[in-house]
């Protein structure tokens, strides 16, 4: 009887050890959580201790975030990401993201920071925490020269406007022009291909993106350069990750004396836009010019 009791005790001890080990593994991946939403994230100290940071960027949105012919990430957002990694003293793991999954990647802890041309909106701010802005943006509409759309009143009931799912363009049209039919795509590449193939009469997106498209593709004109209100682009972190958010805000403010984002623009965007757009697009030190 004593022998059976010992085996039972040993078995119980083994189960307890396994349970503790599994709990420890789970805690290593999802180290913190927002009890109200179930959002998981890594704190600043945990990121530093790991020696790596996961940053979500676009892989198909040249010149903001894209993969070049050598397989390396490049662009305006990536230039900033590289500085973040340098100043944190950690390696960067780039996470290719699409517009529709930017919030999800933060909520699930797949990305520590999203730097994917992320427009600040009140709706998004309920799910993620935005740092200080580093760029201005509005919506724009680009269309073929054969039929340049200069006013949304020119869109007929038979026409369709191309948008990308999860963007502010989609939200704007649903809220303000529900009568206009939308063609929705998941990626920037697919949206551009649709426009080039005549699948829609125009493409609505961030004005920076449609201006770049028109400059790089003869035969297209940005007939509506500014639609709706003026917005800003900012980094985003998981809701409640205050340590990383505070560090990002300090970083953005601390980069102002060296005009970092002007340097970023001139290194990554000037070839596309020229210098005429620099002052209107760049936000330095998180301060929006009045």
CB atoms within 10 A of CB 6: 10
Burial class (CB in 10 A: 0-12, 13-18, 19+), 256: middle
Among residues 36, 42, 39, 66, which one has the least CA distance to residue 54? 42
Distance of CA 144 to the CA centre of its chain: 28
Question: What is the average pLDDT across 62-90?
Answer: 97
Cβ proximity of 224 and 152 under 8 Å: yes
* CA 124 – CA 287 distance, rounded (Å): 21
Question: What is the average pLDDT across 135-150?
Answer: 96
Q: CB neighbours of 1 closer than 8 A, spacing ≥ 6? A: none
Question: What is the average pLDDT across 66-94?
Answer: 98
Length of the chain: 290
Q: What is the pLDDT of residue 8?
A: 42
Stated as kind and residue range, the H or E segment containing 160 is strand 160-164
Q: 177-190 burial, b for 16+ CB within 10 Å, e for fewer?
A: eeebbbbbbebbeb
Q: What is the pLDDT of residue 33?
A: 62
Judged against a pLDDT cut of 80, whether residue 14 lies above it is answered with no
Judged against a pLDDT cut of 70, whether residue 48 lies above it is answered with yes
The residue ranking higher by pLDDT, 254 or 29, is: 254
What is the residue whose two structure tokens read 């790089």?
A: 216
* CA 242 – CA 234 distance, rounded (Å): 16
Label residue 31 by pLDDT band (50, 70, 90).
low
Question: What is the average pLDDT across 116-123?
Answer: 94
Q: Which of 15-24, 57-66, 219-228, 237-246 has the lowest mean pLDDT?
A: 15-24
Q: Are strands 202-206 and 160-164 parallel, antiparallel or unpaired?
A: parallel
Dihedral of CA atoms 37, 43, 44, 48 in degrees, nearest 10, equals: -140
């Amino acid at each position: 009887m004593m022998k059976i009791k010992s085996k039972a005790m040993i078995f119980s001890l083994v189960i307890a050890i396994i349970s503790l080990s599994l709990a420890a593994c789970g805690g290593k991946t999802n180290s913190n959580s927002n009890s109200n939403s179930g959002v998981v994230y890594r704190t600043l100290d945990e990121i530093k201790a790991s020696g790596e940071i996961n940053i979500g960027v676009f892989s198909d949105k040249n010149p903001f975030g894209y993969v070049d012919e050598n397989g390396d990430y490049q662009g305006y957002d990536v230039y900033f990401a590289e500085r973040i990694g340098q100043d944190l003293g950690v390696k960067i793991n780039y996470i290719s993201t699409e517009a529709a999954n930017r919030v999800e990647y933060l909520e699930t802890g797949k990305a520590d920071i999203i730097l994917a041309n992320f427009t600040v909106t009140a709706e998004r701010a309920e799910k993620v925490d935005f740092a200080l802005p580093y760029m201005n943006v509005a919506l724009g509409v680009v269309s073929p020269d054969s039929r340049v759309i200069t006013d949304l009143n020119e869109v007929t009931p038979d026409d369709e406007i191309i948008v990308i799912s999860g963007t502010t363009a989609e939200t704007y049209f649903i809220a303000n022009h529900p009568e206009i039919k939308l063609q929705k795509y998941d990626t920037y590449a697919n949206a551009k291909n649709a426009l080039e193939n005549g699948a829609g009469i125009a493409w609505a997106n961030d004005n920076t993106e449609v201006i770049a498209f028109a400059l790089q593709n003869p035969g297209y004109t940005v007939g509506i350069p500014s639609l709706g209100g003026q917005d800003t682009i900012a980094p985003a972190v998981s809701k409640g990750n205050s340590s990383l958010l505070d560090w990002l805000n300090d970083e953005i403010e601390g980069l102002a004396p060296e005009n970092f984002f002007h340097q970023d623009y001139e290194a990554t965007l000037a070839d596309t836009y020229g210098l005429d757009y620099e002052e209107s697009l760049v936000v330095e030190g998180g301060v929006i010019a009045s």
